[in-house]
Amino acid sequence: MELATDKMIARKDGAIGWMVFNNPARRNAVSLEMWEAIPQILAEYDEDPAIRVIVVTGAGEKAFVSGADISQFEKERATPEQVRHYESVSGRAGTMLAGTAKPTIAMIRGYCIGGGLTTAMSCDLRIAAADSRFGIPAARLGLGYGARGVEKLVHLVGPAFAKEIFYTARQFDAEEALQMGLVNRVVPVDALEEFVRGYAEKIAENAPLTIRAVKTTIGEAVKDPGRRDEAAVKAAVEACFASEDYKEGRRAFMEKRKPAFQGR
């Protein structure tokens, strides 16, 4: 896959599609060109049936994503018009990451700050190394924080912890993040990639339509009742029962063998 920037890397590895923030000199701080590349990567993975799981991570050993690239603010976010454009581009990237039908895992090591934490929260699962650090420093920068990012945080950790994270603007370590429910797992630094790869492969072995249906259902369940798309949930569930994979799952169970799901 050819991208317009070398600061994002897309790599296919069997059933896993890797999306890597590649700006280690700035602790993977995200610039406009990086946000612009994300939809292209995700669209490619969404359209490839061989990709069953998407893993999002940062290059190097110091950071997942340390937030927006503040060094680019004068060029990219100095005027109201530029701010609106930046928010539109970054918002589209976040919406696509949250909305992809395929399961996503944020593999976190080091700093996961500001926009990096919002990116991780857009993934379905967050697996962190023991040296990870989390925080949203908006209150130290005078930034307004969009409702979508705040809502994601509240869904994960509840209103009390969300207020603590925003009000203090301090960094939380991996164990604190685990206790709050901000991450799913904390593993030793040297075991992180192997653990995430194994988790992704385990997910990839399961029925893609079932996972898609569950992702759809959970996505609707966290909405207010009046905003839920019940028809989408019903259609996703019915697609499972009408699939060849459902037949394969039944046969494999009766034959006491491992199923070979095709995603159809």
Per-residue pLDDT of the chain (264 residues; tens, 9 = 90+): 788 899 999 999 999 999 999 999 999 999 889 999 999 999 999 999 999 999 999 999 999 999 877 766 766 666 788 878 878 888 899 999 999 999 999 999 999 999 899 999 999 999 999 999 999 998 998 878 878 889 989 999 999 999 999 999 999 999 999 999 999 999 999 999 999 999 999 999 999 999 999 999 999 998 889 999 999 999 999 999 999 999 999 999 999 999 999 999
Query: Does an H or E element contain 65, and which?
Result: strand 63-65
The pTM assigned to this predicted structure is 0.93
Q: Mark residue 5 as left, alpha or beta (left: phi above 0; alpha: psi -120 to 50; beta: remaining).
A: beta
Query: Does an H or E element contain 17, and which?
Result: strand 16-21
Residue-wise pLDDT tens digits, 119-153: 999 999 999 999 999 999 989 988 788 788 899 89
What's at 97, amino acid-wise? Answer: L
* DSSP annotation string for 96-165: HHHH-SS-EEEEE-SEEETHHHHHHHHSSEEEEETT-EEE--HHHHT----HHHHHHHHHHHHHHHHHHH
* CB proximity list for 199: less than 8 A, separation 6 or greater: 105, 125, 127
